[in-house]
A and B are shown apart, each in its own frame.
Chain A
């Protein structure tokens, strides 16, 4: 490959897999479906690695970054508007590509074991490949419109996979909910794009950055509006307040899907989009603080709900929302490299958590209720140890991955002055809650005695355990590169890292606080769920109000149902359905039909079948024509009118 990296292969290979398995999959033998489904992401990963060689300076070095590859035929050329279908490879998209195709490939392998006995095997893999196609388009996009194509596409793939068990009502509804809530966010993204076009005349990220850099007048104002519109899009896709409600329900999909789409990759697209457009956000301090507040609020909010959930996947879903909140917090304090760092480590440990949870669910025959698990440590040793690595990682214990990335975000927040310290406190409380609910999950699943006699656990096949082990290693070592190196590597894409603190050892002190908090969380969980297992129920009984609010997720679904969904449905049914559809449109149709019927009823009397009446009409008609032609009306009319006028006057 001389000179070109063939970036277009990265999305196109999974797309070919989607087409092959989607069209022919049901007729192909299973081993061939598996081969196609696995080869597509593996080959894409290979192309990404080849591109990475150039950037890391191992192979032939690239002359310049970002490396741009455009479709030779223009995409949209209307008047002054020129948009190319272009892909961009820089440090930021490379990191995302490695995560998406790498973790994506691991989850494909895992799925082979997990989905082995499921109906719709080929359909599942074709959707999974379709997701990779759109996700890589999203990541590689060189302008906002190409990104939007991928953005919508991953939403479609997410919808298809959440509703994979479409015979289950709840799964079909969850798919619809995810799609509709995401549409609200997409609306913001679209408006943002229109504003970008109107004000900058281009959607290409690099050109926008250049124009912003040239003119110092771009500050606040319209930039804030654009940034907030983009933020709305990001909150939809990345499940932040107030649009997070679809993500917990998305757990209706198969567990590997939850791991890949609803934890590791797709939901981080919002973070990626903000990092990609960071120049816009940098020019609007207000929008940045909104991002930070949304992130911190979501992190805390979701963590509190996660405390009392009993479905193992729901706990992880709220944990995902909470961790995404951290990433938004990182973006909001302009620590984009820290946010992307956390995105990467989160992809490792959260994918691992979900896959391990899937392994548990698989092992005990589809049970997801934490209260019915317990004592699985001996029965599922590999799942247990890998899950343990992930739990310690997410809780923030050094030297595991999330310790470094979470710390980098909290440190960057702390440096933002008094408001930043408030954000830091929120982040620290969230870390405490995170440690608590993750250890709660850990104790309830693996420790103690089996609480249900009906389950007969068996360890999962190696196609599932292999990815678990690899992800466990990544969760342990993924952070060792350190934020300094990572930020330096990303700096051409995301800007330089914020200034260091002048207080000596501040970072160490803050890290110490974070670890202390994680230890407290572990200790409390240990106390409540190992030493005194009866205590949690007593506490719930003692504080029924608080417990019910948390267990019912702050009644947000109910509030949205009452304030948005019901009025909208009512409006659709009465105003649109009855008044406009049945009343106006239907009435118009009935009116037209009625006129035709009425006219027909009158005119049919003419067709009497009586020959002599026809003759009479014919004669009368001929006479009338004759009268019309022979009489000089132009002179007769005025005279007769004058005559009538005179008569009337008398």
Chain B
């Protein structure tokens, strides 16, 4: 049996996407370092990208693939802005622990 010739079933891709998304959510919730939180968000975005591509391949539709480019573009912009904010926060507070950055609290 040629494993390589056989196609990977769609459920595996979706499962992988779901696992990656869940990892991202958990990291988003429990991590204290702002950069790690940020990376978790990127992870979630990419998990979604994966399911987009999967469905696009499955349904033979290009829309999903195009949408992935949009997401990647937004993610890149977000990375630029987000990292800039993180640097500014670090300069001001000398820390990146999220539970210490709470000046907006009432």
Interface residues of A, Cβ cutoff 8 Å to B: 604, 607-612, 615-616, 619
Contacts and interface: CB of A to CB of B under 8 A. Distances in A.
A610 B102 contact: yes
Contacts of B28: 615, 619
Contacts of B29: 612, 615-616, 619
B98 interface: yes
Given A609-B104, A610-B98, A612-B99, 7 more contacts: A608-B102, A609-B105, A609-B106, A610-B105, A611-B98, A615-B37, A616-B29
B77 to A, nearest CB: 20
Contacts of B37: 611, 615
Given A611-B98, A611-B99, A619 B25 contact: yes
B74 interface: no
A607 B104 CA distance: 8
Nearest to A611: B98
Nearest to A605: B106
A612 B105 CA distance: 13
Contacts of B10: none
24 contacts: A607-B105, A607-B106, A608-B102, A608-B105, A609-B102, A609-B103, A609-B104, A609-B105, A609-B106, A610-B99, A610-B102, A610-B105, A611-B37, A611-B99, A611-B101, A612-B29, A612-B30, A612-B98, A612-B99, A615-B28, A615-B29, A615-B37, A619-B25, A619-B28
A610 B99 CA distance: 6
A615 B98 CA distance: 11
Nearest to A607: B106
Interface string B68-106: 000000000000000000000000000000110111111
B45 to A, nearest CB: 14
Contacts of A607: 104-106
Q: Top 10 A-B pairs ranked by shortest CB distance?
A: A609-B105, A609-B102, A611-B98, A609-B104, A604-B106, A615-B28, A615-B29, A610-B102, A607-B106, A608-B105
B43 to A, nearest CB: 14
B96 to A, nearest CB: 11
Interface string B34-46: 0001000000000
Interface of B: 25, 28-30, 37, 98-99, 101-106
Residue from the set A609, A611, A619 with the largest chain B CB neighbour count within 10 Å: A611
A612 B101 CA distance: 10
Contacts of B104: 607, 609
Contacts of A610: 98-99, 102, 105
Nearest to B28: A615
B35 to A, nearest CB: 13
A133 to B, nearest CB: 65
A610 to B, nearest CB: 6
Contacts of A608: 102, 105
A619 B104 CA distance: 21
Contacts of B99: 610-612
Contacts of A616: 29
A448 to B, nearest CB: 89
A228 B28 CA distance: 87
A607 B103 CA distance: 11
Contacts of A615: 28-29, 37
A616 B106 CA distance: 19
Contacts of A611: 37, 98-99, 101-102
A2 B99 CA distance: 97
A604 B106 CA distance: 7
Nearest to B41: A615
Residue from the set B30, B102, B103 with the largest chain A CB neighbour count within 10 Å: B102
A640 B105 CA distance: 42
Nearest to B25: A619
A625 to B, nearest CB: 14
A616 to B, nearest CB: 6
A591 B101 CA distance: 37
Contacts of B98: 610-612
A508 B41 CA distance: 119
A609 B103 CA distance: 7
Contacts of A612: 29-30, 98-99
B88 to A, nearest CB: 15
Nearest to B102: A609
Contacts of A619: 25, 28-29
Contacts of B101: 611
A619 B37 CA distance: 14
A597 to B, nearest CB: 14
Contacts of B102: 608-611
A121 B69 CA distance: 87
Residue from the set B30, B101, B104 with the largest chain A CB neighbour count within 10 Å: B104
Nearest to A608: B105
B95 to A, nearest CB: 13
Nearest to B32: A612
B37 to A, nearest CB: 8
A612 B31 CA distance: 9
A315 to B, nearest CB: 77
A23 to B, nearest CB: 57
A544 B39 CA distance: 107
Nearest to A610: B102
Nearest to A622: B25
A448 B30 CA distance: 113
A604 B102 CA distance: 14
A17 B98 CA distance: 80
Contacts of B103: 609
A603 to B, nearest CB: 10
A610 B104 CA distance: 8
A137 B34 CA distance: 84
Nearest to B103: A609
A607 B102 CA distance: 10
A608 B28 CA distance: 17
A398 B60 CA distance: 124
A610 B28 CA distance: 13
A611 B101 CA distance: 8
A1 B15 CA distance: 105
Nearest to B101: A611
A612 B99 CA distance: 7
Contacts of B30: 612
Nearest to B34: A611
A149 B37 CA distance: 79
A77 B69 CA distance: 70
A607 B106 CA distance: 7
B67 to A, nearest CB: 19
Contacts of B105: 607-610
